[in-house]
Amino acid sequence: KKLDLIFLEHTDPLHITQSLEHISIQNALFIVISKSGTTIESISLLKYMLDRYEILQNAQNKAHLFVITDNRSPLESWAKQHNLHCFHIPPNVGGRFSILSAVGIVPLAILGFDVEALLRGGRNMADDFFERRAEHILHKALVYATYREQIPMNVLFSYSSFFEHFNAWYVQLWGESLGKINVHHQKIGLTPIALIGSIDQHSFLQLIVQGKADKSVTFLSVNPAHNLIPCIPSLELTFLESTDFVNGKSFATLLNNQRIATMQTIANEGILTDCIEVMRLCEESIGMLIMYFELLTSCMGILFEINTYDQPGVEYGKQRLKALFDV
């Protein structure tokens, strides 16, 4: 649907002001998402919305706000008090693993995406894994665990700008889940790095190829066969003849060949490399991709002998933040 989805994820005043500049209560729906119900960023932004748009002043304004949170959370109690609609997150699903819960499904359904296909893709990947038809996930986790000292950094090199937000999720999923103290009281973890191709071929690739060999690289690409438009015009420009070898080819083909050339360059240096190719960019394939990374992360947690699903280091920071305001 022709709706703009705007994320107010943090407390940057410049971003808040710019994002809301042309937003009125009549043409907006505010969705407050907090698993615990007390996330300081989400609740502070909620307070700002309530004040700026006078949301609680009447029933008509209240219809422009609903909540996604845990059952019986403080946020749900507040929502019930004001007769606001509330969707629940399963209690055993942490925030970074919650994409395929109401957290992701409800906004996507409002936008008109096929959420049943998204969930079907996730379920198919999970079924393949637990029925032992996706052993490549276990193999990959074992390789990462085996070489964790020599190769402590994992690069996700995604060859499409569509994956920009997916990359950001991967960084949170990998970092927050795996950076822990294990049962042997050892600090352990793998550092996630997210890149977009071909943009980062002109920045980070040099470090991967000729820098310290302490990084593995996973390439994520979309099969170009379904995206043959637009094409590069067959124009011959004076002094620019060296670029004519791509004339008449689709931009998708150029991007895919850039990915292949980069892969070959990296593999030639003996760097641990693998590739995930999305055959068709659609809800079902994205559901599979999300579940793939969630399963891979869970496997890594077992091999690292950690609790993949908590985040005590983050909680320490929250406690210190509160202490700063209590002074």
Cα three-residue angle 95-98-102, rounded to 5 degrees: 120
Residue 196 near residue 163 (C-beta atoms within 8 A): yes
Closest C-alpha among 86, 80, 81 to residue 34: 86
Among 115, 105, 96, residue whose Cα is nearest residue 284: 115
Q: At what angle do helices 115-130 and 283-304 cross, to 10 degrees?
A: 40
Residue 27 phi, psi dihedral angles, 5° rounding: -115, 25
Beta-carbon contacts of residue 33 (< 8 Å; ≥ 6 apart): 42, 67, 68, 69, 103
Cβ-based neighbour number of residue 132 at 10 Å: 8
Distance CA 256, CA 271 (A): 20
Q: Catalytic positions, please?
A: 176, 202, 318
Residue 230, preceding bond cis, omega within 30 degrees? yes
Retrieve residue 176's tokens: 């927050």
